[in-house]
């Protein structure tokens, strides 16, 4: 639900409704607030170990240009999580035209199977992943809710399972996967092998499992110590 444009759009409000173990999102307000992302200081971008962008930052201007400029200037690793929101995307084809050139500049792209189904309707998951890899990223990771994730690089494909968990609220699970990957890459650098990427994907899946076992979004995300404890057990 998007209201008429206001002189000062302020912050767009997202409302999450739990339906069993699933969630539905609604957005209220003027979507211009999501796109009002100005240029990032060049020296900050160049000195960053990692630059991440995604979701509504791919929807339009000036956000899309800000992402493009940051990815072009970045000397560090670049990650993208498109996380499209169909409720606030008026033209899927136009969104794809903006998204794909930005994804092409990333080193790692993370999506959910729902994202893939929306972006490439009627396309087999393997074919969609191949299309994404052909754009330029080195790594594509597709999460599939409670099912195993699909990890793909130019070396091959692998499914990465998720340990058992009592799923209560999946809000923030996708963000947790991205956050876990980012934290590991910033701490240790990007893996130099396919097995290394599979290890990072497994850690991200287990971090998301912890998030799903709790109510809430950001507050449900695990600490590094909590993730290590789950992996050890």
- The first and second tokens of residue 60, run together, are 């339009």
More confident residue, 179 or 12: 179
Model pLDDT, residue 29: 66
Backbone angles phi, psi at 52, to 5 degrees: -120, 145
Cβ atoms 79, 18 nearer than 8 A: no
Model pLDDT, residue 159: 97
Q: Is the pLDDT of residue 6 over 50?
A: no
CA distance 52 to 178: 9
Q: Is the pLDDT of residue 82 over 70?
A: yes
CA distance 163 to 36: 39
Model pLDDT, residue 4: 35
Q: How confident is the model at residue 171 (pLDDT cuts 50, 70, 90)?
A: confident
**Mean predicted confidence (pLDDT) in 176-191:** 97
Cβ atoms 49, 186 nearer than 8 A: yes
Model pLDDT, residue 1: 32
Q: Helix 92-103 vs helix 125-135: angle between axes, to the nearest 10 degrees?
A: 50
**Mean predicted confidence (pLDDT) in 188-211:** 97
Q: Helix 194-212 vs helix 224-232: angle between axes, to the nearest 10 degrees?
A: 110
Cβ atoms 221, 207 nearer than 8 A: yes
**Mean predicted confidence (pLDDT) in 62-89:** 93
**Mean predicted confidence (pLDDT) in 196-210:** 97
Backbone angles phi, psi at 25, to 5 degrees: -110, 140
**Mean predicted confidence (pLDDT) in 180-192:** 97
Model pLDDT, residue 10: 60
Mean pLDDT of all residues belonging to the chain: 89
Provide the β-strand partners of residue 96: none
pLDDT tens profile 14-55: 777 776 656 677 767 666 777 888 888 999 999 999 999 988
Model pLDDT, residue 108: 98
Q: Is the pLDDT of residue 5 over 60?
A: no
pLDDT tens profile 90-139: 899 999 999 999 999 999 999 999 999 999 999 999 999 999 999 999 99
Model pLDDT, residue 12: 67
């Amino acid at each position: 639900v998007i209201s008429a444009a206001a002189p000062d759009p302020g912050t767009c409000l997202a409302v999450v409704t739990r339906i069993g173990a699933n969630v539905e999102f609604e957005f209220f307000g003027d979507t211009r607030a999501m796109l009002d992302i100005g240029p990032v200081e060049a020296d900050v971008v160049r000195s960053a170990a990692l630059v991440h962008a995604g979701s509504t930052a791919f929807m339009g201007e000036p956000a899309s240009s800000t992402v493009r400029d940051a990815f072009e200037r970045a000397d560090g690793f670049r990650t993208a999580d498109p996380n499209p929101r169909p409720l606030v995307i008026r033209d899927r084809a136009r969104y794809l035209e903006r998204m794909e050139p930005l994804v092409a500049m990333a080193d790692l792209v993370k999506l959910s199977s729902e994202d893939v189904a929306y972006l490439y309707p009627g396309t087999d998951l393997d074919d969609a992943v191949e299309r994404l890899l052909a754009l330029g990223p080195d790594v594509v990771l597709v999460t599939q809710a409670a099912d195993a994730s699909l990890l793909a690089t130019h070396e091959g494909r692998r499914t990465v399972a998720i340990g058992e968990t009592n799923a209560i609220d999946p809000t923030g699970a996708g963000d947790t996967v991205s956050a876990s990957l980012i934290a590991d890459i910033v701490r240790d650098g990007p893996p130099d092998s396919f097995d290394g990427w599979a290890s990072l994907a497994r850690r991200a899946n287990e971090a998301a499992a912890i998030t799903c076992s709790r109510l809430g979004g950001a507050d449900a995300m695990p600490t590094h110590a909590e993730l290590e404890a789950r992996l050890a057990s």
